[in-house]
Structure 1
């Protein structure tokens, strides 16, 4: 498990670690206390991935297109 705070992770890093966590939990070869810690870390990683995806979706949705379908600019999106 990475020691990087979840809130500082990129989408890609959080997704890669989440996949590792899920793999460990699915194998079931970790002690109960470690399983609980892994589950908590996994939940935080899932939340981070969802937040980063929502952020990207909002940025894409903010792009305006002209009559020819070409981007003409962006509309600012309030950061959360």
Structure 2
């Protein structure tokens, strides 16, 4: 699959009002086993359908329900002001 930009991702998703994207940070593209397991556990718990690694080495979680965004960010240890796209 070729790399998708944000607009292509938005077009790819079903048109659901509550779909959103959250981007956890990874320093230098390196993810510890603990962080990777935390992301995997959160993805399973909140039934997040798409995980993407961007060209700038960010992990993008696509399809989070808008009502779950704060809980997902909290479980991943992300600050509230972390980059979020809601569409």
| Rg (Cα) greater in structure | 1
Q: Which has the higher helix share?
A: 1
Per the normalisation by structure 2, the TM-score is 0.25
Per the normalisation by structure 1, the TM-score is 0.27
Higher normalized contact order (CA 8 Å, seq sep 6+, divided by chain length): 2
Q: Which has the higher strand share?
A: 2
